[in-house]
Amino acid sequence: MSSHFLTDSHIGIIGLIAIILVWFIFFRKQKFNRHRHNRKKSRKILAKIRTFSFDGQRIAYLRKIDPFVFEELLLDAFEDNGFTVQRNKRYTGDGGIDGIVCKNNVRYLIQAKRYKGYVNMKDVEDFALLAQRLQCVGFFCHTGKTGAKSKETTEKHMSVKIVSGNSLIRLLLEAGKGTTI
């Protein structure tokens, strides 16, 4: 009788563990690379929109970019304007917060939305309630049109400031110049 230290079932289990480990390492690397890739793209987009002559062209271009790249573009712009940036570990399932920025010991929540038409008032209302609940000010940054109802919501909830149109373009183009929002 010979005794084998490793049986077929042991080898199968070891193989399965090895496959899971390789998959996990690859998945984590992909996730990290995705953020780095999107930040790299955001820098290229910033350079591209600086070549446009009119703000309307810039907004139209921003409406077409990947939504995750738009998030990174905004967070990079806040960082360039002297804010400390806290990025999410993932893009989806973020609870309505696309990032957190801090300046002068004040925390601000960031919500990034690419709209072609009018802003969805429910999005503004939900973000305002979230900011109020977390006792923060929020920047609702978007590429659409801010309707009267959305403006009323931000006036009712002083915890949210809309960053769109000229203020959005100024945030992006004047990064590093100490632009205030």
CATH number at residue 77: 3.40.1350.10
Specify if 157 maps to a domain.
Answer: yes
Only one residue has tokens 């006036």, namely 155
Q: Is residue 118 part of a domain?
A: yes
Asked, for residue 148, whether it belongs to a domain, the answer is: yes
Q: Domain of residue 75: give its range.
A: 36-173
Amino acid symbol at 179: T
**pLDDT in the model for residue 54:** 95
Distance of CA 32 to the CA centre of its chain: 15
Residue 28 domain-assigned?
A: no
Residues in the chain with pLDDT values less than 70: 1-6, 10, 23-32, 90, 93-94, 175-181
Q: Which residues, other chains included, contact 179 with Cβ-Cβ below 8 Å and sequence gap of 6+?
A: 81, 170, 171
What Å distances lie between residue 125 and 24, 145, 167, CA to CA?
Answer: 38, 16, 20
Q: Is residue 12 part of a domain?
A: no
The number of distinct structural domains making up the chain is 1
pTM to 2 decimals?
0.78
Residue 136 inside a domain? The answer is yes
Any domain includes 57: yes
Whether the CB-CB separation of 102 and 108 falls below 8 Å is answered with: yes
- Does 55 map to a domain? yes
How many Cβ atoms sit within 10 Å of the Cβ of residue 101? 22
- Angstrom distance (rounded) from CA 114 to CA 59: 10
In this predicted structure, what is the pLDDT of residue 98?
92
User: 95-147, pLDDT tens digit by residue?
Assistant: 779 999 999 999 999 999 999 999 999 999 999 999 999 999 999 999 999 98
Helix (H) or strand (E) segment spanning residue 85: strand 84-87
